[in-house]
Amino acid sequence: MSLIELHNVTRIFGPQTVLRDVTLRVRRGETLAVIGESGCGKSVTMKLMMDLLQPTAGEVLWDGRPVRERNDREIARERLRFGYVFQMAALFDSMTVFENVAFGLRQNTKTPEEQIRQIVVDRLRDVGLTAGVCEKKPAELSGGMRKRVGLARALAMDPEVVLYDEPTTGLDPIMSDVINELILQTRTTRNITSVVVTHDMQTVRKVADRVVMLFPISRLRPDESQIVFEGTAEEAFACEDPRVHQFIRGEARERLHELAAA
């Protein structure tokens, strides 16, 4: 059984349809990469998976059961199964690193403070940071360190699923690979299901078991699926569909022609 499913999901914001009749599944234990151009609905898809947004039409299922059948208390409890790593880490600027990583535990559990301290130190160590960063503020950290603190915060609640929103954006190639290695390490050592929204093809090649590519609705016919590719990373890199081929290789010539003709 799939851990998360979207069945014929549409999401509309005002006059704009961002997702149209999308169906996809996240299998337990896999790392799914969701790729596509800016504005095609990748981050919206991830927020729907976690019930941070609700579909305009269609339904989201957790463990085969529609989210809409659950009451607010049950949804709040089930959301604790998810960890979310934000694009720019989204740390609380006024809090220390320790307070950021401990935040979910303090807000949602009755874990004793001594145990919280050990969990925070352990999770920081898991992402390659020492206890020496605990009293630092986010402004004192590099971009890569902030990303790793964000991952430590997500892992502190011992989630079943971790959702990564552009985890390597703004990082140099070496630090990007550090993040990719941490995604792999997290999956291997903690048996976590991962969903990674990314433009970074090195991330896709390195961490993805399966790839889904979304395409902007404005450039599709009304009868075309918004998912233009679904398969393994190896199949994605070999795909001959020009939309997939151009995106994966970063080839802009045809897209420039389209923009000029618009």
pLDDT digits (tens, 9 = 90+) for 93-110: 999 999 999 999 999 989
Residue whose token pair is 């395409």: 215
Residue/partner pairs of 255-260 with CB below 8 Å, 24 or more apart:
258/219
Tell me the chain's radius of gyration from C-alpha atoms.
19
pLDDT at position 262 = 52
Amino acid found at 104: G
pLDDT at position 254 = 60
1-78+198-262 topology per CATH: Rossmann fold (3.40.50)
Choose among 62, 40, 32, 61: nearest CA to 183. 32
User: In Å, how far are 59, 87, 146 from 189, measured between CA atoms?
Assistant: 32, 23, 22
> If you average pLDDT over residues 7-33, what whole number do you get?
96
pLDDT band of 211, cuts 50, 70, 90: very high
pLDDT 10s digits, 224-248: 999 999 999 999 999 999 999 999 9
pLDDT at position 258 = 56
pLDDT at position 253 = 57
| In the chain, domain spans | 1-78+198-262
pLDDT at position 11 = 97
pLDDT at position 188 = 85
Pairing label, strands 2-13, 161-165:
unpaired
- This prediction's pTM: 0.90
pLDDT at position 230 = 97
Q: Helix crossing, 173-190 with 113-126: angle to 10°?
A: 120
- What is residue 148's three-state secondary structure? helix
- Give the whole-angstrom CA distance, residue 136 versus residue 251: 42
pLDDT of 255 higher than 70: no
- Give the whole-angstrom CA distance, residue 152 versus residue 85: 9
pLDDT of 89 higher than 90: no
pLDDT of 161 higher than 90: yes
Average confidence score pLDDT of the chain: 91
Q: Tell me the percentage of the chain whose pLDDT exceeds 90.
A: 81
pLDDT 10s digits, 32-88: 999 999 889 999 999 999 999 999 999 999 999 999 999 999 999 999 999 998 877
User: In Å, how far are 44, 97, 135, 163, 188 from 87, measured between CA atoms?
Assistant: 13, 17, 23, 10, 23
CB 86 within 8 A of CB 165: yes
